[in-house]
A = this chain, B = another copy of it.
Amino acid sequence: MTAKRGRGQRAGLTRQAILQAAVRLADQEGLAALSMRRIAAELGVEAMTLYHHVPNKNALLDGMVEQLLSETVPPLGVSSWQESLREYAHSFLAVLSAHPNLIPLAASRPAMTPQNLRTMETVLESLRSSGFELTQAYDVVRSLAAFVLGHVAAHLDPIPACPPDQPRGRSIDVDAYPLFFEALKKSDPISRFDFALEALLHGFDASRTASPSSGPQAAGEVGPDER
């Protein structure tokens, strides 16, 4: 066991070590347990010690998101742009799924790590060389990232709703929404992710400018923004 340390006895702290401990703690005990004191305790140190490596708690939370994103695996080799995007999306999904407690963090403080930028650059390159306009390619990647984020965020179990009171026994009137609750039972988030991912990829393919095909049918061209 670590003997108690005195006043100036180094503990060998690092920003990295702190972030990792914080992530580990949040993984195990949830975001609510993430206090400076608790993190410090986890490292065998007093709370104020952390402030020598991190300016404040907000910065620490930001750092945790960076830490997370650095766990994504960069796209392996060159392949079709679809495959690149699939890799990108799945890598993102895997990381977030591995740290469900951190999803609210990732959703509320998007970060751009060098790691992430490098991956983006690769994917952009892949898209460009497949006939996408640069601006379009960018929109594609960003949209994909947004979709992954929204997807994982949407799976935090929805709160029961039904304002506060439940005069009737049922938590919510299931019979009033037959389609919804029927489908709810059969659907699962994982297959939904792949389903929507493929839909997105298909749609992206169709919106390539360089694509020779004229309007296939239905849903004409992009742009009928109305309200």
Which A residues are closer than 8 A to B by beta carbons? Answer: 15, 54-55, 59, 62-63, 65-66, 80, 82, 90, 94, 103-104, 107-114, 116-118, 120-121, 124-125, 128, 134-140, 142-143, 145-151, 153-154, 156-164, 172-173, 176-180, 182-184, 186-187, 191-192, 194-196, 198-207, 213-214, 217-219, 222-223, 225, 227
Instruction: Give the 7 A-B residue pairs with the shortest CB-CB distance, closest first.
Output: A150-B150, A199-B203, A138-B183, A104-B108, A143-B196, A146-B150, A203-B203
> How far is B113's CA from A160's CA once the two chains are assembled, in angstroms?
8
Do A156 and B203 touch across chains, with their CB atoms under 8 A apart?
A: no
Closest to A203 in B: B199
Distance (whole angstroms) from the CB of A29 to the closest CB of chain B: 16
Do A65 and B202 touch across chains, with their CB atoms under 8 A apart?
A: no
Q: Which residues of B contact A223 (CB under 8 A)?
A: 194
Do A121 and B180 touch across chains, with their CB atoms under 8 A apart?
A: yes
User: Which of B110, B135, B196 is the one whose CB lies under 8 Å from A183?
Assistant: B135
Given contact pairs A112-B160, A117-B176, A139-B195, enumerate 19 new A-B contacts (beta carbons under 8 Å). A15-B164, A55-B164, A59-B164, A63-B163, A82-B219, A110-B159, A114-B176, A124-B179, A125-B179, A134-B186, A142-B187, A143-B192, A143-B195, A147-B150, A147-B151, A148-B150, A195-B207, A199-B200, A201-B219
> How far is B204's CA from A128's CA once the two chains are assembled, in angstroms?
24
Given the contacts A179-B124, A198-B203, A202-B202, A153 and B192 also touching, CB distance less than 8 Å: no
Do B142 and A62 touch across chains, with their CB atoms under 8 A apart?
A: no
User: Which of B135, B163, B177 is the one whose CB lies under 8 Å from A15?
Assistant: B163
Q: Which residues of B contact A195 (CB under 8 A)?
A: 136, 139, 143, 207, 222
Q: Which residues of B contact A143 (CB under 8 A)?
A: 147, 151, 192, 195-196, 199
Do B196 and A202 touch across chains, with their CB atoms under 8 A apart?
A: no
Do B201 and A114 touch across chains, with their CB atoms under 8 A apart?
A: no
> How far is B121's CA from A176's CA once the two chains are assembled, in angstroms?
9
> How far is B87's CA from A70's CA once the two chains are assembled, in angstroms?
37
Do A110 and B172 touch across chains, with their CB atoms under 8 A apart?
A: no
Q: Which residues of B contact A139 (CB under 8 A)?
A: 187, 191-192, 195-196
